[in-house]
Amino acid sequence: MPVAFVTGCSNGGIGAALCRAFLAKGYVVYAAARSVDAMSELTHDNVRKLAVDVTDDESVAKGIEQVYKETDGIDVLVSNAGYSHIGPLLDTPFEEGLKMAETNFFGFVRLVKNVVPRMGQRNKGTVVAIGSILGELATPFQGFYNASKAALHMYTETLRMECEPIGVKVVLVASGSTKSNILANPQAKIFRNLRTLSPRARFIRRWKSRSSTSFMDTDQFASTVICKITTPKPPQYITVGGMVTTWWILKWLSCTTAESILWWAAQKEPKPGTYGPM
């Protein structure tokens, strides 16, 4: 049976949904999260749960080593673990920005360092980075998240070119708005305290209003991604999720025009009842 290794598999998130989609395809799935207890909803016989912190070199190396001891190798590696913080760049502590870079970008680098050389020895394997459309077009008050995803995108695209001669496929998934538990993290609970009409508060409330009406179901997102990446020739780039069409249009506009549209949308106070989950 083929083997998949997925990070960021806590209950209710994209990672857990990706695991379910892999299982439906007949894979043995190694699901990783910082806590095994956080993956209690993954109960399939072909799931192996590992406590892995992608910000820690030793933790990543130990988790990957266990997989290779128990199997012939990882066929598909999916880097999904993510961390978010909402706030102006000048108000965001350096430690928060560093933590986002460690998780969203360097977490993937650690996985690559431990897995891709082994894939190269077998001349096969697929590496998948779950990025974000926010890594391609900046929005205010998510600067460090945007930057970490932009770094992930560029690293992934470079990795794809360098891995081609050794038979390893690399796929970048630029995800749109998808139902996830990332905003349930304590760092994102700033949403719950927004009661003013400052530009910052209005932007975030409006953004949540628009996003809450266009979230893609997590299982639908996962099923779409898995169907594409498990083909003999997976695409190099996939974009799926809510608002991806809007983002595609904004990307092709001039920076000035795109920013004007974003700020225009931000200044419109959302209708009561459309703020999304707070």
Helix (H) or strand (E) holding 146: helix 143-163
Supply φ then ψ for residue 221, to 5 degrees: -60, -50
Sequence-separated (6 or more) residues with CB below 8 Å from residue 49: 9, 30, 31, 32, 33, 36, 39, 42
Catalytic pick from 27, 30, 83, 145? 145
In terms of Cβ atoms closer than 10 Å to its own Cβ (0-12, 13-18, 19+), residue 212 is middle
Sequence-separated (6 or more) residues with CB below 8 Å from residue 205: 194, 269, 270, 275
Contact status, residue 79 vs residue 151, Cβ threshold 8 Å: no
Sequence-separated (6 or more) residues with CB below 8 Å from residue 200: 88, 140, 141
Residue 52: which of 68, 70, 64, 69 has the closest Cα? 64
Tokens of 181: 């538990």
How far apart are the C-alpha atoms of 146 and 140, rounded to whole Å?
9
Q: Is 149 a catalytic residue?
A: yes
How far apart are the C-alpha atoms of 174 and 169, rounded to whole Å?
16
Tallying the residues shown for the chain, one arrives at 278
How far apart are the C-alpha atoms of 148 and 48, rounded to whole Å?
29
Contact status, residue 56 vs residue 75, Cβ threshold 8 Å: no
Catalytic pick from 49, 149, 169, 179? 149
Could you give the residue numbers annotated as active site?
145, 149
